[in-house]
Structure 1
Amino acid sequence: MSESPNPNIIDADTLTGEMRPIRRVVVALGSNLGERLANLQGGIDALADTPDVWITGISPVYETEPLDCPPDSPTFLNAVVLMDTTLSAHRLLDRALAIEDAYDRDRSHGVNAPRTLDVDLIVVGDRRSDTDALRLPHPQAHERAFVLKPWLDLEPDAEIPDMGPISVLLDKVGTDGLARRDELVLEYDE
C-alpha cells in the first residue's frame, strides 16, 4: 500500500498553485554619486529587510572606472551580493527598483548615467527571461569585470547559465580598471 499525503495538512503552495522553490540569486550593486559606500550598504540593508530573502554572502568592494558612461563620470564602487529567496524574479525586480528609487536613482539621463545606487539582478536560480521588463541572466554580466570579479571572490566555481564559468568569462574580459578596496567593508547580519 502506498502512502498518501496527510489530508489535514494544508500546503500554501497547493492553495495558490504556485511553487516557491529556494533560488540562489546574484545581485550586483553599484554607486558613483553621493556617499557611495553608504549607498551600497543601504542597498544591502534593504535587501536583507526583504521578506523571504536571506543574504548568504557579500563580496569585497571594488572601485571601477565608469563603463559606457558620459565623459568625466565619477568612479564607481561595486559589490556583489549572494542571496537565497523564495520570491519570484519579478518580485525581486520590483524590490530592486524600489530600493533604487529610495536612493533617488535618476533614470532620466539614460541607462549608463551616473547613479546613486544601481541594483541589478544577475541570475535568479536557473531562471531565464527575455522580456522588456526582465532579462535573465543579466545580458551584459558576462562582459562586466565589476560583476564577474566580485562574484568570483565569493563563488569561484559559479557559472552564468548559457554563458559559462565566471572564471573563464573574467579571463576574457580582464580586470583593467578594477581596484579592490579592502579598507571599505560592507556588512550584513547573519
Structure 2
Amino acid sequence: MPEVYIGIGSNVDRDLNIRRGLEVLEQEFGRLRLSPVYLSEAIGFAGDDFLNLVAAFDTQLSVAELSTRLRQIERDHGRPDHAPKFSARALDLDILLYGDACGLVDGIELPRGEVLYNAFVLKPLVDLAPEGVHPGEGQTFHALWQALSARTEQRLTPYPLEL
C-alpha cells in the first residue's frame, strides 16, 4: 500500500476549513501524519494569505480514485468545479507524492511539480520526511529545501493552528 503525501491549503475561513478538511481525510483514510501549519502569501493572484500543511497516509486507492475523492472533498467544502487555478480556496487538496510514482499516472503528473519550487509545499514535506527522496530528482527533500530556501523570497511563517 503506497504512502501518499497530500498538500492542504485554504485562504477562506482558513482555520475552520483546514480543521474540517482534516476531519474528513482522517475519517476517509485513517490516522494522518501531519506537518506543522504555515502561513504563506497567495501566489499568482492578489488574495488573503493561505494556511498550508502536508498530510501523509497509506491508501489502497489508485491515483485516479484518490484524485476523484479529493476533488469531492474540496467540492463538499465549497470549492466550485472549474475554479480558476489562481484563486481563493476554501479547501485545496493536491496529491504531492504517491509512493515512488514518477511520471504521468492516471492523467496526473507525479510527483507534483510544486514540490520543487513552492516553499509552502516543500517545507511541510521536509518536516514530515526530511530524508525522503524525490522520485524524479533523486535528492532528499531536505537537500531540495536547502537549495530552494537559499534562492526563494517566498514568505513562510509557522502558524499555531491546534489540530
User: Aligned with 1:99: secondary structure?
Assistant: helix
TM-score (norm 2): 0.89
Give the Cα separation in 2 of the matches to 1:108 and 1:177: 28
Does 2:162 align with 1:185? yes
Shift of 1:107: 4.9
Give the Cα separation in 2 of the matches to 1:131 and 1:184: 33
Alpha-carbon RMSD: 1.8
| Number of equivalent positions | 159
Gaps of 5+ in 2: none
Judge conservation of contact 2:33–2:56 (CA < 8 Å) in 1.
yes
Question: What is the match of residue 42 of structure 2?
Answer: 66
Question: What is the match of residue 114 of structure 1?
Answer: 88
Gaps of 5+ in 1: 1-21
Question: What is the match of residue 27 of structure 1?
Answer: 6
CA separation of 1:113 and 1:133: change in aligned 2, threshold 3 A: farther
Which is higher, the Rg of structure 1 or of structure 2? Answer: 1
Deviations 1:19-74 (A, max 9, x none): xxx111000100011x2011111111111122xx2334111110001112x22x10
Counterpart amino acid of 2:162?
V
Question: What is the match of residue 150 of structure 1?
Answer: 124
User: Aligned with 1:140: secondary structure?
Assistant: helix
Within 5 A, what are the aligned runs for 1:123-142? 123-130=97-104, 133-142=107-116
Q: Which of the residues 132, 136, 153 maps onto 1:162? A: 136
Judge conservation of contact 2:75–2:81 (CA < 8 Å) in 1.
no
Question: What is the match of residue 146 of structure 2?
Answer: 171
Q: Which has the higher helix share?
A: 2
Counterpart amino acid of 2:40?
T
Counterpart amino acid of 1:96?
L
